[in-house]
Amino acid sequence: MNGIPQGLEQKANEIILRYPPEHRNAALVPVLFEAQKSLGYLSPEVEAWAASTLGVTPVRVREVISFYSMMRREPAGKYHIMFCHNVACSMRGAESLQRYLESKLGIAAGEVTQDGLFSLAAVECLGACGWGPAMLVGEEQYFQLTQEKIDKILDELRQGRMPAGDSPTPLIGNVGLPTE
C-alpha cells in the first residue's frame, strides 16, 4: 500500500500471527508501534493501512492512537527525547535541567529542532525514580543526568553515534541501597 515499506508489511504480518485469527485486531497496538518505529510517526496513510490490515475501522485506530501518549501523529526528530518531569526527578533537579536541555536544543517541550535531528517531550514517570533525573532517547534510557552528561549525550548524537544507555543495576550502590 501507499507509502508503507515492504519491511513493515512483513513485520506486521509476523505480529498478527502471534494472535488468534479471530482476534486479529489485538495486534493493533504492537503494529502501530512497529510502524512508528520505522516511520517516526503515524501518518494518515499509516492509520488507513493499519485499519485495513487489521480489519478494524479507521475510527478505532484513531481511538487507540489518541489514547496512548507515546503514539504520535506528527513527525518527531531523528532522536526523540522523552524527559521525565514527575515529582521524584523534579526533586533531584529535573526542572532546571529541562530548561537547560531546552535552551541547548533551542526548542520547548513538544517541538522539533529546525534540522529535524531532535524532538523533545516532557513525559510522566519513566520508572526510574531512584536514579533521576531520567530521560529516554528513542529506546535508550539515561539516568542521574547532569548538565555535563546531557552535553556529552547530545554531542555523541550529533556525530551520529548512539551513546550506550544506563542500566539501573550498577547504579543501585550509588544511592545507598543495599546490594546483593
Partner 1 sequence: MSRIEIDGKSVDVPPNINLIEAARAAGIEIPHYCYHPGLSVAGSCRMCQLEVEQNGRKALVIGCATTAAEGMKISTTAERVLKQRQMVLEFLLQNHPLDCPICDDAGECELQNYYMKYGLHDSRVELAEKYRKHKVIDLGPTVVLDSERCVLCSRCVRFLQEITGTGELGIFGQGMDSELLTIPSVRLDNPYSGCVVDLCPVGALTDKDFRFKRRVWYLKKVPSVCQACSRGCNIEIYYDIRHPYKGPGRRIQRLKPRYNHFVNEWWICDRGRYSYHAVDAPDRLTTVQTRSSNGDSAPNIKRVLQEAARAIKNAKEKHGTKSIAVLGSANSSNEDLYVLHRLFTQHLGVHHFDVSLKSEPSGEEDEILRKADLAPNRRGALEIGLRPAASGKFSGDNIIRAALAHEIYVLIVVRHDLSLVLRPEDFNRLGNLDHLLYLGEHESPMVGIAHGVIPIAAWAERDGSYTNFQGRVQRTTQAFPPLGQARPEWEVWRLLGAEVGLTIKAKTAEEVFAELTKNVAAFRGLTWESLIPSGRMLAGVPEPPYRKVRTARPLE
Instruction: Select from 29, 39, 56, 172 the one that contacts partner 1 (CB under 8 A).
Output: 56
Our CB check for partner 1 shows the closer of 58 and 116 to be 58
25 binds partner 1 (CB under 8 A): yes
CB of 65 to partner 1, least distance (A): 9
Q: Which residues contact 136 (CB under 8 A, 6 or more apart)?
A: 81, 82, 123, 126, 142
Enumerate residues 63-82 that contact partner 1 by CB under 8 A: 63, 66-67, 69
- Of 55-63, 82-90, 112-120, 162-170, the segment contacting partner 1 by CB under 8 A is 55-63
Our CB check for partner 1 shows the closer of 4 and 150 to be 4
User: In 3D, which of 168, 174, 150 has the Cα closest to residue 97?
Assistant: 150
DSSP string, 88-126: HHHHTTHHHHHHHHHHHHT--TT-B-TTSSEEEEEES--
Our CB check for partner 1 shows the closer of 11 and 73 to be 73
CB of 82 to partner 1, least distance (A): 17
How many residues would you count in the chain?
180
Our CB check for partner 1 shows the closer of 59 and 177 to be 59
Contacts made by residues 46-54, CB under 8 angstroms, sequence distance 24+ = 46/3, 46/4, 48/1, 49/1, 49/2, 49/4, 52/1, 53/9, 53/12, 53/16, 54/16, 54/24, 54/25, 54/27, 54/28
Our CB check for partner 1 shows the closer of 63 and 155 to be 63
59 binds partner 1 (CB under 8 A): yes
Residues that bind partner 1 (CB under 8 A): 23, 25, 56-60, 62-63, 66-67, 69
